[in-house]
């Protein structure tokens, strides 16, 4: 299983260091062998020695240049970062990245061999138009994306479930993941209001191969607990 924490615009550099320290100690105490990814804020990116793989929540699709406010691959190289989150709903809907922007970024980091966690998911108004329309909408988010890329991980995150405490039913997640698995054999994570109390149910659903956790991952012990739950499910 793959267990990922998206820390978003939270935790300072010092807080992130403390977070990683307690996460690493918890993971090793519980002998976690699952793949654990953490995406801290850009100013908290750093070299890291441990079980956790550090990824960036964003970067521009260039090594460097005149892209005010962005970071490029040279800034990631400095810290040995080789993992990136692309297509998160906040980047699509709050920061206005288009599918074309995402494809450019995807291709740039694919060509550098990065592990890419690529997010897809529908807003509520699309979901309310029915299953077929919703799947069509999500299909468009696959346009231009190399779904056979060997270092690809896909995360299905319904926009209306992110940070709201709402989650689709297990049956919903199962049927959507089943459809999405037809598009790519890449590991498929679920994200959107996953927390300690529902992680077991979510991770137990067919075709859920991991989770991408935001708010509930901000407490290292809770995130570690979710890694432990994933490990128990994988073993059973
Ligand atoms: P959430 O966020 O767990 O706070 O809903 C998930 C995400 O945005 O990846």
Q: Is pLDDT of 32 > 80?
A: yes
Residue 179 in any domain: the answer is: yes
User: What is the pLDDT at residue 193?
Assistant: 95
Residue 234 in any domain: the answer is: no
CA distance 207 to 189: 8
DSSP bridge partners of 54? 38
Mutate to test the pocket of ligand 1, among 84, 195, 212 (most ligand atoms within 8 A of CB): 212
Instruction: Output the CA 170–ligand 1 centroid distance in Å.
Output: 17
Residue 219 in any domain: the answer is: no
Confidence of residue 68 (pLDDT cuts 50, 70, 90): very high
Residue 232 in any domain: the answer is: no
Residue 217 in any domain: the answer is: no
Instruction: Output the CA 195–ligand 1 centroid distance in Å.
Output: 10
Q: Mean of the per-residue pLDDT values for the chain?
A: 97
Residue 214 in any domain: the answer is: no
- CATH number for 141: 3.20.20.70
Atom 9 of ligand 1 has which residue's CA nearest to it?
Answer: 214
Q: Does the beta carbon of 212 lie inside 6 Å of ligand 1? A: yes
- Which two tokens mark 185? 């054999």
User: What is the pLDDT at residue 235?
Assistant: 77
User: What is the pLDDT at residue 236?
Assistant: 80
Overall number of domains in the chain: 1
Query: What percent of the chain has pLDDT above 70?
Result: 100
Q: Which domain holds residue 135?
A: 2-209
Residue 161 in any domain: the answer is: yes
């Amino acid at each position: 299983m793959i267990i990922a924490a998206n820390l978003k615009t939270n935790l300072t550099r010092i807080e992130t260091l403390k977070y990683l320290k307690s996460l690493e100690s918890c993971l090793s105490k519980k002998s976690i062998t699952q793949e654990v990814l953490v995406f801290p804020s850009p100013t908290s990116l750093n070299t890291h020695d441990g079980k956790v793989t550090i990824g960036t929540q964003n970067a521009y699709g260039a090594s460097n240049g005149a892209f005010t406010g962005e970071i490029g691959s040279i800034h990631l190289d400095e810290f040995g970062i080789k993992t990136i989150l692309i297509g998160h709903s906040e980047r699509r809907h709050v920061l206005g990245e288009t599918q074309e922007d995402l494809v450019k970024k995807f291709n740039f980091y694919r060509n550098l061999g990065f592990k890419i966690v690529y997010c897809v998911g529908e807003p509520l108004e699309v979901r309310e138009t029915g299953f077929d329309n919703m799947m069509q909408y999500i299909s468009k988010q696959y346009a231009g994306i190399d779904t056979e890329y060997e270092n690809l991980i896909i995360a299905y995150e319904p926009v209306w479930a992110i940070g709201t405490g709402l989650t689709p039913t297990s049956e919903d997640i199962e049927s959507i993941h089943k459809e999405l698995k037809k598009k790519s054999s890449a590991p498929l994570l679920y994200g959107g209001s996953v927390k300690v109390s529902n992680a077991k149910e979510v991770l137990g659903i067919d075709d859920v191969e991991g989770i991408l956790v935001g708010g509930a991952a901000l407490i290292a012990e809770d995130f570690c607990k979710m890694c432990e739950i994933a490990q128990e499910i994988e073993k059973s």
